[in-house]
Amino acid sequence: MTRALVVYESMFGNARAVAQAIADGLSATVPTDVVAAAEAPAEIPADVGLLVVGGPNHAFSMPRPATRQSAVTQHGADVADTSRGLREWLAAVHAPTRGLPAAAFDTRVAGHPALTRMDHAARATEKLLGKLGTRVAAPAEHFAVADTRGPLVAGEQDRARRWGRELAERVHTTAAS
C-alpha cells in the first residue's frame, strides 16, 4: 500500500479531530493524507491503498443539506456550503479499481446504548462505500462527543489513533499474505 486517504465531514471540528487522530495512527505504517469532503478529489488517486471516511451522525444518518443547515441556524456551525459533504462526495467520486480496502467512522452524542444503536451514519457510509466498489477492511467505528458541539469524550482521540494504527496494520498484513 503506497498511501492512505482519510476524507471527513465536520460541522464543529469533532469528526475532523477524529479524522486527524486516525491519520496519525495510520501514519505509523503508511503515509496518510487527510482532507475535508469539500476539498476531496473527484477521483481517488491510483496510489491510494486504503480509504477511511467519516463524519457526524445527523438525524440518525449522514448529514444532508437540511441537517447541515440546522447545524448552522440552530447550533452556530460555520459551514461555507451546506449543499455538499461526505454523502455527496461518496455518491460522485470515482475509484480507479474495485476492491479498494475502506473503512467508515462516525461521531455521535454519548448516550444510552439502545439509542446509539439507532444511529446509522457509519452504516449509510458503508453502503455508499459498497456502491463505490470498495471492500470493507474493518467494521465501522464510532466516537462519542459530549454534546452537539462537542467536545469529544475524554480518551476518544487516543482511541481513534489506536484504531487507525490497527487498521493500517490489518490492511498491510492482508496485502502481504
Ligand X SMILES: Cc1cc2nc3c(=O)[nH]c(=O)nc-3n(C[C@H](O)[C@H](O)[C@H](O)COP(=O)(O)O)c2cc1C
Binding site for ligand X (CB under 6 A): 10-15, 56-60, 67, 70-71, 75, 107-109, 119, 145, 148, 150
Q: Provide the minimum distance between the beta carbon of 155 and ligand X in the complex, in angstroms, as a whole number.
A: 16
Q: Provide the minimum distance between the beta carbon of 120 and ligand X in the complex, in angstroms, as a whole number.
A: 9
- The smaller minimum CB distance to ligand X, of residues 98 and 112, is found at 112
Give residue 174's identity as a one-letter amino acid code.
T
- The smaller minimum CB distance to ligand X, of residues 27 and 69, is found at 69
Q: Which residues pair with 104 in a beta bridge?
A: 53
Look at strands 3-8 and 141-145 and give their pairing. Answer: unpaired
Q: Dump the DSSP string for the chain.
A: --EEEEEE--SSSHHHHHHHHHHHHHHTTS-EEEEEGGGS-SB--TTEEEEEEEEE-BTTBS--HHHHHHHHHHH----S-TT-SHHHHHHH-B-SSTT-EEEEEEEEE---HHHHTT--HHHHHHHHHHHTT-EE-S--EEEEESSTT--BPTTHHHHHHHHHHHHHHHHHHHHH-
Q: Provide the minimum distance between the beta carbon of 73 and ligand X in the complex, in angstroms, as a whole number.
A: 10
Q: Provide the minimum distance between the beta carbon of 110 and ligand X in the complex, in angstroms, as a whole number.
A: 8
- Supply the angle between the helices 156-176 and 14-27 in degrees, to the nearest 10: 40
- The smaller minimum CB distance to ligand X, of residues 27 and 61, is found at 61
- The smaller minimum CB distance to ligand X, of residues 36 and 138, is found at 36
- The smaller minimum CB distance to ligand X, of residues 101 and 150, is found at 150
- The smaller minimum CB distance to ligand X, of residues 11 and 171, is found at 11
Q: Provide the minimum distance between the beta carbon of 18 and ligand X in the complex, in angstroms, as a whole number.
A: 8
Q: Provide the minimum distance between the beta carbon of 149 and ligand X in the complex, in angstroms, as a whole number.
A: 6
